[in-house]
Amino acid sequence: MDPLAPDAVVPRLRGRFGQPYLYAYECASTQRLLLDSSLPEGAVAVAEHQTAGRGRQGRSWLAPPGTALLVSVLLRPPPERCAPELSLVAGLAVAEALEETTGARAELKWPNDVLIGGAKVAGILAELRRHVVVGIGVNVSQTEEELPTDAPTPAGSLQTVTGTAPDRVALLAAVLERLERRYDEWLRGSLASLHDEIAARDALRGRPVRLDGRTLVAKRILADGRLEVAAPDGTVHALDSGEVSLGRP
């Protein structure tokens, strides 16, 4: 039996996320498994291997079979809600799940990465269609040689940064439980209702960052999800989106 097959996973799920649970040993992308607009909110797609996995800005997300957690979740927030905020909502949930299963402190790198010890171990991709599909990729047991070397943020796996690769079924159950809880809180309130927890994990706060060839200082993640940065001349701006990397003044 495949480790993440339904018979192994569904009995260990602790909420409504994962109903239904779609599984493929190999697929192009778990995001594509949730294209069917008739699927209910909370439908989950999982694969052992993606042949065309994607991150932000079209980057590939590839990992040897069985070494990562590759999962997508279908959400149906009200149309008036700001769907891009779900990257931070999911990032917070994943950070909490990683701490639960590894005991290591996890931080958020705006807008959609999860770091442990300064290394990116997880990424989020929220895509808006008729519904929202939130893709989550966690590097679990890759070796140093199996991780990308050209990523804007140094890549790590739970194995390389903590010394232990947790059971992926337990990790998946924790991610879905935490995501359901944080998503429901976001629905009842706003991103501001999660802001204290997000801000406490802000990996960029007070650090120099590079954006479009410029060096700025990241001040904080605002309650609306934007990143506040300061330019060398002292002017302050709020970024709605963008690819920032750690830099030097």
Domains assigned to the chain: 6-199 (3.30.930.10), 205-246 (2.30.30)
pTM above 0.75, yes or no: yes
Are 103 and 139 spatial neighbours (Cβ–Cβ below 8 Å)?
Answer: no
SS3 199: helix
Distances from the Cα of 155 to the Cαs of 42, 190, 194, in angstroms? 29, 31, 27
CA distance 59 to 63: 13
The confidence score (pLDDT) of residue 62 equals 74
Confidence of residue 151 (pLDDT cuts 50, 70, 90): confident
pLDDT in tens, 33-70: 999 989 999 999 999 999 986 655 455 567 899 999 99
More confident of the two residues 213 and 225 = 225
The confidence score (pLDDT) of residue 30 equals 96
Report residue 108 as tokens.
Answer: 């958020």
Answer yes or no: is pLDDT of 248 > 60: no
Are 197 and 181 spatial neighbours (Cβ–Cβ below 8 Å)?
Answer: no
CA distance 85 to 79: 13
The confidence score (pLDDT) of residue 60 equals 59
